[in-house]
Amino acid sequence: MKKISGKTTKRIALALGAALACAALAGCGSPSSAGKNGELYVYNWGEYIDPDTLTMFEEETGIKVIYDEYDTNETMYPKVAAGASVYDVICPSDYMVNKMIDNDLLQELNFDNMPNALSNIGASYYDTAEEFDPGNKYFVPYCWGTVGILYNTSMVDEPVTSWSILWNEKYKDNILMQDSVRDAFMVALKLNGSSMNTLDVNELEAARDALIEQRPLVQAWVIDEVRDKMIGGEAALGVIYSGEAIYTQRENSDLEYVIPQEGTNVWLDGWVIPKNAANKENAEKFIDFMCRGDIALMNFEYITYSTPNTAAQALIKDEDIRNSEIAFPDLSQYNNLETFTYLGEEGDELYNQYWKEARSQ
């Protein structure tokens, strides 16, 4: 073919340019209409709030909420760190709060503007938060829980008290482990009596060897499927988050949840305000609102993860849940609970290295 006219090409290109410009304009020119008292950008885990509470907040305060969700701390972090979108409130987990403080991404909260955060959240949760937020300057707890063993009483007849049952030959191919570095190493480190935040090479090697030794017994390394597999009776023992345990028990009454005596991970998710937030005042109003007893109760019933809100705990109608050892265990009886702390880049690398060895050898 010799040539398709330059003119034709030019015209098409022109039309195209116009179309593109329209698209770009449509994208830029439509900022959502602000509420009468401004707006608020919230970035939270998926399915981690009762949507009705957002509507209530908008009605009571006149602040428009622009709500966005993420699936893991790790996908949230680069977006916030790069400043792609400016959020006013985020709900990261313990170690991620640690990392964000270290990288100077957060700003200090003014608790004078958040009376509910002081009066309704149990003091013990702030004590726990000190591990990753020294001085309680940046973080207000929202959800928390433990990690433990979920077991099927029709398949396990001995009492379950220790992580060591996950190394018992009797339950070969009936054990489910968490498929994530820190959670898996937590189990092995705690079994050996080490700290789950250790950077000691000998302790980590011992934990790695324990995981390698355990491998032939493990049916699967999974995350979400622990829930469904345990409900379906496809495994006898599984490592699970306490928030899921209540739900699985509702579906299958043979299941029991236990915190092993060697101690475990206590995790906390909660509200922080990033440094570049554009609406700090609204953000504090939002955190305070979320700490209100009735609101925290609605969220607890929606999420089913334990709430650190003592006012909400008192409002729970169902006595079994209110006194549930799973939802609200008495943590004072354990002296070996820890939260994850940020290990630094080198620490993360060290864990990943041993994790690779544990999974592949």
Rg (the chain; Cα; Å): 24
DSSP 47-98: T-S-HHHHHHHHHHH-PEEEEEEESSHHHHHHHHHHTSS--SEE--BHHHHH
Partnered with residue 65 across adjacent β-strands are 40
Q: 62 or 83, CB closer to other proteins?
A: 83
227 part of the interface to other proteins, by CB under 8 A: yes
Using the rule CB under 8 A, give the single segment among 15-23, 308-316, 332-340, 342-350 that binds other proteins: 15-23
CA distance 291 to 271: 10
- In contact, 262 and 163? CB cutoff 8 Å: yes
For 251-274, give the DSSP string: H-TTEEEE--TT--BEEEEEEBEE
Beta bridge partners of 70: 45
31 lies in the site for other proteins, by CB under 8 A:
yes
C-beta of 15 vs 199, nearer to other proteins: 15
- How far is residue 248's CA from residue 235's CA, in Å, rounded to a whole number? 13
123 by DSSP, 3-state: which?
helix
Q: Which of 58, 209, 234, 357 binds other proteins (CB under 8 A)?
A: 234
Of these, 59, 158, 169, 224, which contacts other proteins (CB under 8 A)? 224
One of 18, 34, 60, 67 touching other proteins (CB under 8 A): 67
Candidates 72-80, 181-189, 286-294, 312-320; binding stretch for other proteins (CB under 8 A):
72-80
> What DSSP letter does each residue of 105-120 carry, written as one string?
-EE---GGG-HHHHHT
CB neighbours of 269 closer than 8 A, spacing ≥ 6? Answer: 45, 48, 91, 92, 93, 94, 141, 142, 143, 144
Site string for other proteins, 236-255 (x = CB under 8 A): ---------------xx---
Q: Check binding of 4 to other proteins (CB under 8 A).
A: yes
Torsion sign (Cα): 193, 199, 200, 202: positive
Q: Is 87 in the site for other proteins (CB under 8 A)?
A: yes
Q: How far is the CB of 48 from other proteins (least distance, A)?
A: 7
User: Residue 250 Cβ, how far from other proteins at the closest point, in Å?
Assistant: 10
Q: Is 228 near other proteins (CB under 8 A)? A: yes
Q: Are 40 and 54 in contact (CB under 8 A)?
A: no
Q: Nearest distance from residue 11's CB to other proteins, in Å?
A: 7
Euclidean distance between CA atoms 60 and 50, whole angstroms: 16
Which tokens sit at 60? 């009571």
Instruction: Decide if residue 164 touches other proteins (CB under 8 A).
Output: no
CB of 222 to other proteins, least distance (A): 13
Stretch that binds other proteins, among 42-50, 149-157, 194-202, 329-337 (CB under 8 A): 42-50
Q: Near other proteins by CB under 8 A, which window of 186-194, 231-239, 321-329, 342-350?
A: 231-239
The footprint of other proteins (CB under 8 A) covers 1-5, 7-9, 11-13, 15-16, 19-20, 23-24, 26-28, 30-32, 41-43, 45-48, 51, 66-72, 75, 78-79, 82-85, 87, 224, 227-229, 231-234, 251-252, 303
